[in-house]
Structure 1
Amino acid sequence: MFPIYAPLAVEITRPFWDPLGLGKAAAEYWRDACERSVLYLDVMRQRGNQYLEHMEETKPNVLGFDTEVLLDGRTLPNPVNYELMRILPTEGIEIDESMRPFVVVDPRAGHGPGIGGFKPDSEIGVALRAGHPCYFIGFLPYPVPGQTVEDVVEAEVQFLRHVIERHPDVAEQPMVVGNCQAGWQIMMAAALEPDCFGPILIAGAPLSYWAGERGKNPMRYSAGMLGGSWLTTLVSDLGHGQFDGAWLVQNFEKLNPANTFWSKQYNLYANVDSEAQRYLRFERWWGGHVVLNSDEIQYIVDNLFIGNRLSTSQLLTRDGRRIDLRNIRSPIVVFCSQGDDITPPPQALGWIDDLYESVDDIQAHDQTIVYCVHDTTGHLGIFVSGSVSRKEHAEFTANMDYIDILPPGLYESKVTERDASQANPDLIDGDYLLEFAPRDFEDIDAIVKTDIEDERRFATVSRISNINLGLYRRYLQPLIQAVMTPEAASWMRRSHPLKMGYKLLSDRNPATVPLPVMADAIKASRHPVDDSNPFKVLEGMISDQIVQGLNAYRDLRDQATEQLFMQVYGQPLLQTLMGLRADDQRPLPLPGASPEHHRFVEQRKQALLDSIDEGTIVQASVRALIFVLGGSTTTDERNFQRLKATRDEMGADVDLTTFKTWVRDEFEILNLDGHAAIQALPTMLQGEDAATIDAYMAHIEQVVRASEPLEEKTQTRLAIVKKLFERAKPVQEAPAQPEASSGESTRRSNAGRKRRATRKKGAPGPTRDSSSS
């Protein structure tokens, strides 16, 4: 692929003995191939230099934005190597400090920080263009000695509290985005301190490691094939208490050998004139390996990768608090992709099936879960793809307030292209429409494909891992720790195969000295061959054959690995020896709920039923809206945009937090006794005049009709609400008055609410018991 450079100085012409021009085409291709070879090698030399410069930086990252460090995690009571940074807006972007803050937490899974703000079209870029104050939680290459995963979680809570203090006039809590490993990390933080979080977006984040589909997702078998986590401890001991993230990156690369060993490099070689800068930008992040403490990586591997304990509420903090994801009170948006081989959809969504029995169980815990499954993008594309950022991330960011007021339950979101034929196109933000559809556990099961027999196999792996780890620590670890020195560990890290590939092709290698001179000469007189050249076409065909061959090897390897795993860990005798029963119970049963939670739920239900006919006209309108929109299979952002547009007239003094509480209360009341809740609307409207009732009914109809055409069930429910609002009008009206202005209508509404509040004064309302969080 990389022939020795021997440029042809003479002009290539077609001689008489080459009537088909194949000789001329071969000469042109040879010249182009030689030039591409030199340019390719020079790009690899630049990659090596870039790597060495990057690793020598004190605080390396690949953020595409200027930042200001606000908090250094090394100064916290339990110091960590994390930092809270404020993203400085670029020229032409104005930040509205009154908008909800936007916080991106980067994954520390072998690579350095910055992937969430790698490109202008990134998660941070989308939020900045929307006017949100943006913050970034990144990290340094080396951990603080002794830091743990729990220390990092506590630090992230401290960072969020600092962000909240910087925006005292913003009632809503920050929206937090966790990419990959950072996703489960912020879920842990939100479970421990739910009051610090607004909507949570976890992108490509694995939370349920046993989940997966047979014939796919081979990475979940790795622990079983290696005998458990003892190897992780060995690598940490060889690193003198530190685990080199390059080993994690190597595991990722093994998933797709065709891309690792051929496609990525060939794409650069074939398109070296246009791909060089993009390749170098990506390699700056991909090769920026970081280090983890041995305690950190052991905690992750034992409790998450192998034990699967986070999704089943088995983790405890050092002060005895249980990390239960059901404590999270913020809406959770799960963004995953079918094209992601590192975090496939079953692993991104399986925690829902691990924690809850049904959608009713989700609602009983006052949780809102939204999932979105992309069709094709890969793992990194979820964070850095321009098409994804312009589409899904842009819609999630623009509609975070909409997501925040969704009633408790399970929803699937879809992002579709804006269509000029759609009703009220002016209510669609951007080029795409965000829709939400209620879902049931059957929909989750269709993605996760839970298999009890497979779960029993993974439970067997977990117990064998504990045995092997105990044997290693008892007999081998003392010897390894006795002979390893910091100098030897540092030499081993520097000698990792991935790192050597960067160093060997850099200016530190004397053999690369001629490359920049030759590359400059070629660029001054470049002779690229046309894509129609038959030899260039043949080159592409050979490349395709190599890719197919490597893919066939991958498929054969993965199939053999899966079959061996299933046979070994599916042995009834082995499972029995590990203490597993051969009945139908799940090896990791549902965590269940405490008696205190059940008692709180019953008390709350009774309190809501007792107040079923109480509330203001705004609350009555909220109940009516939920009832009517519940008759539709989907709702979309147009309904919410219309609701925001009429919000001042529907209650100017109602903030988002209060409105969110009303939505959840009215939703629960409708769930408890829908018929009685709707029939109570006229009672709730007592004391309001006919003009005010008509104005609110008009607002309700505007919100509902924003997403026309309406389904038949929705039209029927809208007609029922109209009749009830009509029935609530006073029987005798005062003498006709000039039609009230919008401001007068609002004043009457406020007066009506005061009368209702006075009448209800002293009446006990539903309160949240601390046992629910």
Structure 2
Amino acid sequence: MNASVIDYWSGAFSRRATPLSLMRDLTRWNVALSARQRPPWAHEAQQSVVGEWPLARLRDYSAPDAEPDQIPTVILPPQAGHASSIVDFAADQSQIMVGRDNGCSRILSMEWIGATQETKDAGIDDYMALLREVADQLGGKVNLVGDCQGGWLATIFAALHPDRVNSLAIAGAPIDFHVGEPLIHDWLTVLAPDGDMSFFRSAVSANDGILPGRFLLDGFKALQPDQELSRSLQLLTNMHDSDYVERHRTFEDWFQWTQAIPGEFYLWIVEHLFIRNSLIKGELEVEGRTVDLKDIRCPLFLMAGRTDHITPADQVWALADYVSTPPERIGRQSARSGHLGLFMSHEALATHWPVIFAEMGALSTPTPEDDPEVLTDEPSQTQPTMFEQAPELQAAAPQAAPAKAAPKSAATKAATTKAATTKAATAKAAAPKAKATKAAAPKTAAPKAAAAEAAAPKTATPKAAAAKTATARAAAPKTAAPKAAAAKTAAPKGAAPKAAAPKAAAAKTAVPKAGTTQAAPAAESAAATPSPARTPSQAAPVQEPKPTTAPKEPATPKAPTAEQGTPSSERPTATP
């Protein structure tokens, strides 16, 4: 904040601003902060409305040459008092167009309509009925992509109607509302102590049964009030940068323009999802049935933001632990962004969504051989993964290729990944034999041999091998003698060259036999121990050790940070 003020006055002095020009700056600044208009859909000319209901419209953005037999993809935008156009935010920031250009050529989006007196009593059952009609209109089966509130809505629908959902993707969508660092839940414990809904019911009652979008907007601002002030002062500093002012105006038109939500629906969300956490507990009743997440068996894509203070990553990852989808059919993406950046930042749209849409598109063709066998899975290194929480799943989940690998089809990338995984496992199996023929190997030979003996089965991933090797290296003795003794123990009799004999003899003389027999098992035990799950408070990414016994995989291109080449209008750290 202080830096922005200093920057403004420094600029004013450098351009020799007069009192009149300062007044002009303040006037333009005030207009830029307060003048708002309805946010447009950036590619509206390339779409058509193919369905309309009291609660929503269905916009079709399908490519002119879209394959008619491809299973369509439907995006469910956030529904938190803002316009749905965030999924088509700007010419170069459109989640819809990224999907269309990366495999999902038949792509549509819901547009939530603001609540009126006619729709104020709409509830969760009405939204389920709406999605059923959409699926039936599009052929009976769809891919669902749910952002934030659209994510848990899509999840509930997939659990109740699994036959209508081909694949499911959620981004920044809370499934377990109480894990991670649940900032919103912490606020609710203050506003609704012991589950008392009086505060929220009075807000709906005071507005004739609807919840104004401004109510939610003010709540988001209250989560990070310093960011709201900082963003306003940054605008003042950049009032003479026309591009900056335009980006700011575009974002603020979307962020500040609000629409109402049906009061009945809003109260249901607060009580059953945010307070009771009924979805993850298996206690949620919708359409007269209990929502059971185990009924979800379709391919699953999860996406979270590393700095998302609205929906911490753990709340998104949680879905993987409750569905029946096989682990290799669960893909995860972790964006270097906050909440809103998941849907419209350059980094998310250029790095993560193309991977999701490409694999989703491959799953949507009428030919099963196009299906990727393994989905790309690269969760944030700062969050506990389902494999860290349940190590026994690791052997059943081959690691997928890096998100930004060569521009191949999704199916090709998956096949390449599977081949690389098998190659890595083969190399691990061969490692002990290779080590046995090299008694004069470098100092690291013994820990490597110990790690190889305790290696995972064939399906173990290179990443897992790296963790095991690093653990074994730390646990193995550092002196040369125990290493030589361990190497001698691991090698078949007579396989070591004569040059190793003096070293082995020295080891036997210098180290008691009891100590020698404990060295290798210690390394094996350490290698077999899974890495402890990290907590969400560990915000800094941890650099994992490189594997020493598996072939080197293609390096993932380093994605730019959320701040590099990113206009302030898309930096979600500055907005709730």
Q: What TM-score bracket applies, with the shorter chain setting the length?
A: 0.5 to 0.7
Are 1:70 and 2:50 an aligned pair? yes
Equivalent residues, number: 404
Of the structure 1 ranges 198-207 and 98-107, higher mean CA displacement relative to structure 2 is found in 98-107
Query: How far 1:397 moved relative to its partner?
Result: 0.9
Q: Distance in 2 between matches of 1:642 and 1:276?
A: 39
Deviations 1:231-283 (A, max 9, x none): 1100011111111121111111112122112x211221111223111111111
User: How has the CA–CA distance of structure 1 residues 708 and 40 changed in structure 2, closer, same or farther, with 3 Å as cutoff?
Assistant: farther
Cα deviation, residue 47, structure 1: 5.8
Q: Structure 1 residues 292 and 631, CA, compared in 2 at 3 Å: closer, same or farther?
A: closer
| CA distance in 2 between partners of 1:342 and 1:303 (Å) | 18
Partner of 1:378: 338
* 3-state DSSP of counterpart to 2:131: helix
Deviation at 1:145, TM superposition (A): 3.8
| 25 and 295 in structure 1: CA distance in 2 versus 1, 3 angstrom threshold | closer
Tell whether the 8 Å contact from 1:207 to 1:348 is kept in structure 2 after alignment.
Answer: yes
Amino acid at match of 1:195: D
1:305 alignment counterpart: 274
Matching residue of 2:130: 155
Q: Which residue of 2 aligns with 1:396?
A: 356
1:321 aligns with 2:300: no
2:146 & 2:261 partners in 1: Cα distance?
19
One of 288, 300, 319 as aligned partner of 1:332: 300
What displacement does 1:125 show?
1.4
| Secondary structure class of the residue paired with 2:211 | strand
Aligned 8 A contact 1:632 1:711 in 2: no
Q: Which amino acid aligns with 2:17?
A: R
1:31 aligned residue (17, 41, 56): 17
Match of 2:99 among 113, 127, 131: 127
Cα distance between partner residues in 2 of 1:175 and 1:24: 53
- Corresponding position of 1:101: 72
Q: Secondary structure at the match of 2:115?
A: coil
Partner of 2:185: 220
Q: 1:61 to 1:324 in 2, by over 3 A?
A: farther
Q: Distance in 1 between matches of 2:19 and 2:102?
A: 46
**C-alpha displacement of 1:633:** 5.0
Structure 1 segment 218-617 matched on structure 2, within 5 A: 218-226=183-191, 227=193, 228-261=196-229, 263-272=230-239, 273=241, 274-318=243-287, 320-353=288-321, 355=322, 363=326, 368-374=329-335, 376-400=336-360, 405=371, 413-414=377-378, 440-443=386-389
Counterpart-to-counterpart distance in 2, 1:174 and 1:708:
33
- Give 1:158 deviation, angstroms: 1.2
C-alpha distance in 1, partners of 2:363/2:385? 15
Structure 2: which amino acid aligns with 1:267?
Q
Report what 1:84 is aligned to: 58
Separation (CA, whole Å) in 2 of partners of 1:632 and 1:33: 66
Offset of residue 113 of structure 1: 1.5
CA displacement, residues 373-420 of structure 1 (integer Å, 9 cap, x when unaligned): 33x301000000012101100111112256785679xx871299xxxx
Amino acid at match of 2:291: I
SS of residue matched to 1:258? helix
- Higher alpha-carbon Rg: 1
Output one character per residue of 1:89-134: Cα deviation in whole Å (capped at 9) or x when no partner. Answer: 5xxx854444442211111111122111112332211122236122
Counterpart residue number, 2:506: none
Shift of 1:211: 1.1
Query: Quick one: distance in 2 between partners of 1:180 and 1:33?
Result: 46
Contact 2:362 2:411 in 1 (8 A): no
Give the conservation status (yes or no) of the 8 Å contact 1:243–1:294. yes
For the pair 1:45 / 2:5, whether they are aligned, the reply is: no
Q: Distance in 2 between matches of 1:392 and 1:24?
A: 39
CA distance in 1, matches of 2:413, 2:305: 36
Summarize the Cα distance change of 1:219–1:644 in structure 2 as closer, same or farther, 3 Å threshold.
closer
Cα separation, 2, equivalents of 1:317 and 1:302: 14
2:84 alignment counterpart: 113
RMSD: 4.0
Relative to its length, the structure with more helix (as a share) is 1
Q: Encode CA deviations 1:18-47: one digit per residue, 9 max, x unaligned.
A: xxxxx9997435508964663453254256
TM-score by length of 2: 0.61
| Identical amino acids, percent of aligned pairs | 21
Find the aligned partners of 1:156 and 1:640 in 2 and give their Cα distance: 34
Deviation at 1:323, TM superposition (A): 1.4
Kept in 2: contact 1:632–1:713 (CA 8 A): no
User: Are 2:213 and 2:261, in contact at CA under 8 Å, matched by a contact in 1?
Assistant: yes
Shift of 1:325: 1.7
Structure 2: which 5+ runs fail to align? 2-8, 365-370, 431-456, 459-576
Q: 1:180 to 1:440 in 2, by over 3 A?
A: closer
